[in-house]
Structures are given as structure tokens and as C-alpha cells.
Amino acid sequence: MNIARKFHTASRLINGKVLVTGGYNGISLNNTELYDPSTGIWKTTASMSTERQEHTASVVTNVNVLVAGGIKDGLFLNTAALYNPSADSWTVTGNMHRLRGAHTATILRDGKVLINGGDSGDGFLNTAELYDPSTEIWTTTGNMNYKRVDHATSLLTNGKVLVAGGLYHGPLNSAELYDPSIGIWTTTGSMSDTRQCSTLSTLINGKVLVAGGFNGSYLKSAELYDPSTGNWTTTGSMNFTRRCHTASLLANGKVLVTGGYNGVYISNTELYDPSTEIWTSIGNMNIAREHHTASILTNGILLIAGGEKGNDMYLNNAELFPLP
């Protein structure tokens, strides 16, 4: 990349290119870049009007990219903006109701974007809101039962949204379900382990895999959530403890985990097979990193970008990882 960064976002566009936005490399960034898989080249593109890190980015209406919230050099944001790939331009869109960073964003079946949790600068949040791309307006929706930051969310095959873990007065093991049809969160079964900075992946069979994280100790444990029962069961553990890694669901139904941190920065990658519930190490990245991004390209290769490898060593390095 042209700029070293962590706490950025990466979004695959309908044209197959990958848009990277914002992040942090000692200061908050408004710089954005496009990766073109056909040339392997990064190109600087139009900058956002506001610097932001720990924000979210969502591809809405299958075309534009919505960035929301985040942190600008210690100031929490409620602003949002839309990137138009065809015009290579950013436009301001409606503001969220709450300042927030380190939240999550989930695209619902109806195309709306659900934002939940995070940090407002004055405390952690249980609030949630919906962005409607057709009107560019945010509306509040039901509050979560627990405040949480550094949590994980995933869209289920039934259209509901699962949120699990995070931090509030310590790491959490609680989980909740959001039902878009009624706008209400309900508690569901709790995980066996408390965990923050973990990953959630909805599998092809409808179950949800949570992996790794941190709860005072670095975790290699993994669990499966079954929406039909509302319960979690333990599954095979990873070979390495890790937090702040990435998890990508592959076309073959397996889940690829990359990097992270467990007292040292990790270059290892592992593959989870739902049919056997076993993790297999499948090689190392060239550079150990956490707080990076991983994007599956249309050519079936994983693009890993940015992150940190320690002592404020922010990365502009990107790697291509052939998928198994």
C-alpha cells in the first residue's frame, strides 16, 4: 500500500477491486486506496473528508461503500460518508445518533446496515441503529441487553444477527440475537469462555464458529453456536492462541484464520474444517501482523493488508495468499 496503517477497513467492490479506508499509523488517516487484482497495484484514490480509525465500512446497494463512525485522534465520531466507485468520490451522508468507535456493522437481508455497540468516549454502548441506503437516514432500534466493545457479530442464515463476547467491566461470554422484523435483541446461550477480540463466522451449515480472543489469557479455544438450539458447544481448538486475527469463510465451507497476537505477533495461518472440527496449520504469512485485513478476491486468492508487527511498526505491506 502507499500508506502504512492498522485499524483500517477493506471492502471488495462489485468490480473486484478492494477499497482500503482510513486507519492509524501514529495519527488517524483519511487516506484511501484501491487494489486492482488484475495489475497487483495499489492506487491512491479520493480521500475521506474526515480522518477515522476503528470505524466500519459496508458495501451498500452492491455498489457504494458506507463508512460510519470511528475515532479521529482521540475524538469519537458520529459522521458517515459514502464512496462512489464509478465517480471516485466521497459524499457526506446522514449522521448516526451516537458517537461511536470500535463498533460493528452488519448488512441485513433488506439492505439496511445495523450498527451496534462500541465506545462513545464517555463509556461503552449497548445502543444500535439502522442505516437505510434508500433514504440515507439513520434510525434507532432496540438496545442490546449488554454494553460491549471489541465484540463480534455475524449474520445468520435465518436473517437474524448474532453478537457475542466483547468487553464491559471485563471480557464477556454473553451472546444476543437481533431480530430485524421486530427490532429487538434477546439473550441467547452464553459461550463457555469469556472473550474479546475474537472472530465469528457463519458456516454453510448455519452454525456459527467463534475462535480465539483474549480474556486475560490469549485463547486458542473455539466454539460452535447452533441457532436451532441457542446453545454453544466446544469444537476443536486452534494450534495457536491468538487475538485480533482475521477469519475468512471460504467457498469450500472451511474457515481460514490469519495472524494475530499472543504476546508475540503471529504469522501463522490455520484452516478449520467443519466436517472434522479440526484445525490444520497451512503455512505462514511473510510478515507477522495483527489488526490487519483479509479480503477474498474474485480470483480465489486472499489479500492480506496492513496491520502492526510491534513497537509502533505499522505496515504498508500486502500479501497474496492462495486459498487451499
Report whether pLDDT(182) > 90.
yes
Contact 138, 95 (CB under 8 A): yes
What average pLDDT does this structure show over 289-311?
97
Contact 83, 67 (CB under 8 A): yes
Phi/psi at 54 (nearest 5 deg)?
50, 40
173 occurs within a structural domain: yes
228 occurs within a structural domain: yes
Q: Which amino acid is at 234?
A: T
Phi/psi at 131 (nearest 5 deg)?
-105, 130
- pTM over 0.85? The answer is yes
* pLDDT number for residue 299: 93
Of 248, 280, 267, 265, the residue nearest 310 (C-alpha) = 265
CATH number of the domain enclosing 230 = 2.120.10.80
> What does DSSP say about strands 222-226 and 208-211: parallel, antiparallel, or unpaired?
antiparallel
Q: How many domains does the chain have?
A: 1
215 occurs within a structural domain: yes
* pLDDT number for residue 324: 84
158 occurs within a structural domain: yes
pLDDT digits (tens, 9 = 90+) for 195-205: 999 999 999 99
- The set of cell numbers assigned to 8 is 483500517
76 occurs within a structural domain: no
* pLDDT number for residue 101: 99
Residue 126: burial class (beta carbons within 10 Å; 0-12, 13-18, 19+): middle
Report whether pLDDT(233) > 90.
yes
Report whether pLDDT(311) > 90.
no
- Report helix, strand or coil for 163: strand
Percent of the chain surpassing pLDDT 90: 98
Contact 264, 241 (CB under 8 A): no
317 occurs within a structural domain: no
Contact 256, 247 (CB under 8 A): yes
* pLDDT number for residue 116: 99
* pLDDT number for residue 117: 99
Report whether pLDDT(276) > 90.
yes
- The set of cell numbers assigned to 222 is 473455539
- The set of cell numbers assigned to 107 is 448488512
- The set of cell numbers assigned to 206 is 448455519
Using 50, 70 and 90 to split pLDDT, how confident is the model at 3?
very high
- The set of cell numbers assigned to 250 is 471460504
pLDDT digits (tens, 9 = 90+) for 31-60: 999 999 999 999 999 999 999 999 999 999
Region of 39 please: left (phi>0), alpha (psi -120 to 50) or beta.
alpha
* pLDDT number for residue 218: 99
Using 50, 70 and 90 to split pLDDT, how confident is the model at 263?
very high
Which range marks the domain in which residue 205 is found?
152-284
234 occurs within a structural domain: yes
226 occurs within a structural domain: yes
The upper half-sphere exposure of residue 88, i.e. CA atoms within 13 Å in the direction of its Cβ, equals: 9
